[in-house]
Structure 1
Amino acid sequence: MSYKTFHCIFTEPKHSRFSVLLNENNGLQFVYWLELKKLGIRHLSHGEELCAQASLKPQDTIERGLLMSAAVCFEAPAAAPDMLLFENESFDQQRLADALQQKAALIVFRQCRFGLVNLEGLTLDTTCAFFDCDFAEDFRLISCRFPGNLWFCSSRFNKHFSLKSSHIEASLHLESCDFGGPGGVSLRGLEAENVYMDFGVQGCEDIVWLNEITVQGVVSIGGTFYNDIEVIGNQDDETDIQRGRIGAMYIGCELYASETANTTSIQAKLAIKNCDVGRLIINNTAIKNMALSQCETETIGLVDSTIEKDFSLSQVEFSQPESASLSIQRSSVERHMRVFNNRVVGNIVLQNSTIDGNAYFEDNELDRCKLQLNRLSASRLVFLPIQEMYVKQRYFPLSLTPKQFIVEEQENADKTAEIYCSLKNWFSDTGQLDAEDDAYFFMRQNQPHYAITRLLFGHIFGWGVRLRNIAISSTAIILLFVALFKLCQPDMSWLASFALSIQGFTGNFFGKWPDYEPSGLIAALTVLESVLGIVFITVFIGAYIRKLLR
């Protein structure tokens, strides 16, 4: 790989988390601090030159910019970069429009100030960038077309910011921007390859509109937002767009796992509706309310996150059976969770998480889905209809074990027993008593017992909750003694053997048989069967009374 020359145009002023470099083709490239640090470069100042071996990072999640393998930094560049630079100047609407129409390889505004701007229908031929700029009034670029990337890194917007219905050939960079004014942020109808609104973005007092956007790659969000974030596919009838599309949406995800540069707080509602999102991944984020509806997605994942009130998921179709459809790990929902009318083809993972209120799973279509519930704490978990909790396969009516749940069991039997214990309690709270009995059976089977204990109390007596097991075992004993009676007295008819076995098992009087005296081996077998019958009938009556009392 050959060395290439880069000029540093901008470095994020607050934490120096990233720099923007100008390459030999007058294109701007993002580079994260970690790429420089591993080569011994702790800081780049604008104007410095870098001679480096670099390639574009493969985009897995929110990766972007350059991947460097070697670099040498020079304080004084050999030649000035070819660009039109405005630094520390003031612009009104007309002057900005004139500047954007100038012929140049690159137009850069650095530490400039802007008044009211409301431009519509501009088509630019040159990449433009706004670094560390102040926008005192509304700033609107509506239905404009931008070649390459559009940059607003570390800029401050005191009022409304809008790129409504604009088209960006590559990516929109809003890293470390401050939208702290009373206006909102509108990207309605935006078309772009990627949108990066992360690394300490300060949200606005009004709503962040990501409605009707079409982003083939990634939307990355990170920072503090004081109002709703809306991602709605068809906001109203003003446009012809019926459904938004986002390749992947990441909230609070990090470029470097060992830091918290992208910790996110959404102090209002995150609403996604009528928008297809390839993946929705939320890490290390606090959200007040979250609602998704009428979407198509591959996976939704929350890790180390908190939803301070309610989480609602409705009419969502998951399309990737190889990955978890819904994954909530090391996270909490501090009120209620509602999951209803969804089509789920992958696993539902609710591990090491807490739901302080009730969790409702209603009318979902679960296709080959497994539930992973290890260390889930919830006040109440409601599954309706309850049949969806069972594996969809033919069940043999004379089986001595209940129909399997769609719960994924752990390698450790104690952890599996803990999961079934939680299920038993949830089913009991919601009055789903048959399912409670099934969960209790699996809980006891997975607790530490000797094999003979599982056989006797589990398969034969059904742990006192499965009348079917006791009835099947009793029938087997009666038939066994029918065979024994016939074996001991070959001249006894099968009907007589059956009648004798029934009498012996139920403890009824022995009766007077015409040809067989109640003595000898027959008497011993009858006494033995009577003892077994008393035990089985007592257990059966006890289990039945327990069911009636509930």
Structure 2
Amino acid sequence: MDNNLTTLNIDDVLKKAGEKIENFYIPILNLQKQTSDIEIFNCVIGEIILTDCQIQHKIHLENVVVEGSFIAGKKRSSDKAVAAQFDNAMILKNCKFKGEVVFGHCVFSTLMSCQDCVFFEEVIFGHAHFKEQAYFWGSQFNNTISFNHAVFEVEGHFDKCDFRAAAHFVKVNFKGQDASFNYITAQTDIDFSEIDVDCFFAFRESKIDGKIDFKKAVFHKDADFIRSAFRSNVTFENAHFHEKTDFSYAQFAQSSFFYGSSFSNITFLNAQFNNEVLFNLDSHTRRSLGESVSEIKPAQFNGNSDFTNTRFHKRAIFENVTFVNEAHFANCFFGEQANFINVRANDYICFDSVYCNQEFSAVGGKFAKITFDYANINRRLDLSGATLNALSFYKAAVDLMVVEAKQIRRKLIHENPEKPSYEKCAEEYLLLKESFYQRGLHEEEDWAYFKFRQTKRKYRTKENIEKMKAASFINKLFYLGKLPFSLFERILIDRATGYGTRPLNITIVAISFILFFGAVYSYFPDTLVKPESMPFGFAQATYFSFATFTTMGFGDIQPRLDSIMPYVVSTEAFFGLFIMTLFVGTYTRKIIR
């Protein structure tokens, strides 16, 4: 106590009610008989007792030091004391409370303002009911604080508060307009378990050194966690976000748990997870824990999800998670495993330009539309067993891509016949070819190579047609002259031989050539020189065609030099030599592999 202060007893305080009381020492403040506003400035108070009071007039304490307890309510529900009811404003500004402060079960019918105050001992607001605005701006809590089961009807503001011991907000109900914890600092744990927030919830740019727990919290309106820093474990297990939630630029230093949570529209733009983040337990953990995890469910994303530029430095577990609407992971960084096993993405999910330092696993997932354009995955991209309705991985850099040909046939986005982009398809099929080769899947490798060559041809043809449309008359003729070569490639090399990957097709083409030219020879027998006694029907003509096609020589039958037949025979011999060479090369390649 300041010895220079004059002592003022409670009776004198009540007599001065309605006036400004300043620079006094008040041993005890009991306002059961309060009849007017109480305004106390720059005073020292021994203790304050307000239980069993119904305060009908304003109380305003500013720059006051309370050396003992401030008791206005119950510490426990079983206490016999009657909690105070404040029918008028309660204003505490720049005050210091050196003893415990108890407002448990108190009712604040109007404004409750506690601005820039310092609390040295335990503070209890459990079951308190705030019917109007409640402000705790800039206050410092050096000991435990409890708001468990409190109700905020209109607004509850804790901006710039400093929590230096455990803070408990279990089952608090925020209603009305706003609940804000912007710019707070917390050196130990904060417990928001099972809070019910039916208003805008702001938790912007706060710094939490201890654990923070939002288990089973329910947010009915928008929630804002932008730029907050969580330096210990964060738990949002079984939390529910019914409107937009924003974690943009938030930092998570330790493990983050979101399993069992449901999100409407969620944003993690530029967020950073320095440790593992779990939107579900992975299958190995679930097996090791056995029955104890039977109630743990995967997270559910019911609206749009934005993880653009998010950095996951450790494991990111999205196993069995469901994305109902679009999900964007563009430019994300995955320092370790990215686990999207058995994910269900009912709409577009984007992994464009992601960087994954280890394996990216989407085994068994179901994807309506998924893209990995410009992705950089150091190890393998595992899509085995996944259902892929539309897929793109243009310019992706992947060490090994695990996917089956049957999964992606006619599923590439850039191969859509309505708006094809053949040059991009060619890049994708080339990547598939290399991945199939590394896995020893030579049939699939041949299929990817065939599609690569086919899309390259389509791209050249499309490019020539577009250039021809825009060119001058002379240049139109130049590009028009290229089209027959494209047609020749399509018929003979593409369809007939599969660019050397389909030996059966080559065999069918060879037989077709032999039979076709045999029919020609049998239809024009007079153009051939043969013994007069030799019958010459389709069988003999086919034999002659076979000998010509395989370049074995003419034997007893030769073309007449004074007819057009030598040119026909030479044409068949040329195609025969070409097709036989392709046939031998293709089968040799198959046998060697």
What is the TM-score normalised by the length of structure 1?
Answer: 0.67
SS at structure 2 position matched to 1:283: coil
Provide, for residues 179-219 of structure 1, a one-character-per-residue CA deviation record: whole Å limited to 9, x for no partner. Answer: 2x1x22222111113564543211223x2212111112333
Q: Determine if the alignment matches structure 1 residue 383 to structure 2 residue 389.
A: no
AA partner of residue 539 (structure 1): L
Q: Give the counterpart letter for 1:305 in structure 2.
A: T
8 Å CA contact retained: 2:103, 2:124: no
Moved more, 305-314 or 534-543: 534-543
- Which secondary structure state, in structure 2, belongs to the residue aligned with residue 347 of structure 1? strand
Deviation at 1:362, TM superposition (A): 0.2
Deviations 1:479-520 (A, max 9, x none): 3553454245338766666666566555566676xxx65556
Shift of the alpha carbon at 1:310?
Answer: 2.2
**Aligned letter for 2:213?**
W
Which of the numbers 450, 454, 475 marks the counterpart of 2:508? 475
* Structure with higher strand content: 1
Q: Deviations over 1:13-33 (max 9, x none)?
A: xxxxxxxxxxxxxxxxxxxxx
Quick one: which of 179, 189, 194 aligns to 1:189? 194
Partner of 1:217, secondary structure, is coil
The answer to whether 1:291 aligns with 2:278 is yes
Counterpart-to-counterpart distance in 2, 1:496 and 1:109: 111
Quick one: higher RCO (CA 8 Å, sep 6+), 1 or 2?
1
Instruction: For 1:378, give the aligned amino acid.
Output: I
Distance 1:419 1:112 in 2: 64
Aligned CA distance change for structure 1 residues 488 and 542 (closer, same or farther; 3 Å): closer
One-letter amino acid matched to 1:169: K
Q: Between Structure 1 and Structure 2, whose CA radius of gyration is higher?
A: 2
Q: Does 1:374 align with 2:373?
A: yes
Greater displacement, 126-135 / 195-204: 195-204
1:247-266 Cα distance to aligned partner (Å, 9 max, x none): 343211xxxxxxxxxx3321
1:327 maps to which residue? 328
Corresponding residue for residue 398 of structure 2: none
Which letter maps to 1:490?
Y
2:130 is aligned with 1:130: no
Corresponding position of 1:143: 149
Q: Which residue of 2 aligns with 1:204?
A: 209
What corresponds to 2:582 in structure 1?
Answer: 539
**1:61 corresponds to:** none
Query: Aligned partners of 1:161, 1:498: CA distance in 2, in Å?
Result: 96
Q: Name the counterpart of 1:275.
A: 261
Structure 1 unaligned runs (5+)? 1-81, 234-242, 253-262, 393-401
Say if 1:467 and 1:213 are closer, same or farther in 2 by CA, change over 3 A.
farther
SS of the residue 1:362 aligns to: coil
Q: Note the aligned Cα RMSD (angstroms).
A: 3.7
Distance 2:487 2:515 in 1: 23
Does 2:159 align with 1:153?
yes
Deviation of the 1:440 alpha carbon? 4.1
Structure 1 counterpart of 2:347:
346
Distance 1:84 1:357, change over 3 A: same
Q: Deviations over 1:351-383 (max 9, x none)?
A: 1221122211201123xx223222111123433
Q: Distance in 2 between matches of 1:372 and 1:423?
A: 15
Q: Would the aligned equivalents of 1:304 and 1:329 in 2 still touch at CA under 8 Å?
A: yes
Report the Cα distance in structure 2 between the residues aligned to 1:364 and 1:459, rounded to whole angstroms: 39
1:356 maps to what in 2?
357
Contact 2:105 2:127 in 1 (8 A): no
Q: Name the % identity.
A: 13
Letter in 2 for 1:117: V
Tell me the amino acid that sits aligned with residue 388 of structure 1.
T
Name the structure 1 match of 2:337. Answer: 336
Separation in structure 2 between the aligned mates of residue 352 and residue 84 of structure 1, nearest angstrom: 55
* Structure 1 contact 93–118 (Cα < 8 Å) conserved: no
SS in 1 for 2:387: helix
Equivalences, count: 428
Alpha-carbon distance between aligned partners in 2 of 1:496 and 1:140, rounded to the nearest angstrom: 105
Which structure 2 residues correspond to residues 69-148 of structure 1 after superposition, within 5 A? 84-91=90-97, 95-97=101-103, 101-104=107-110, 106-114=111-119, 115-148=121-154
CA distance in 2, matches of 1:92, 1:98: 18
- 1:150 aligned counterpart, secondary structure: strand
Normalising by structure 2, report the TM-score.
Answer: 0.62
CA deviation after TM superposition for structure 1 residue 267, in Å: 1.4
In structure 2, what is the equivalent of residue 43 of structure 1? none
CA contact (8 A) 1:163 1:190 kept: yes
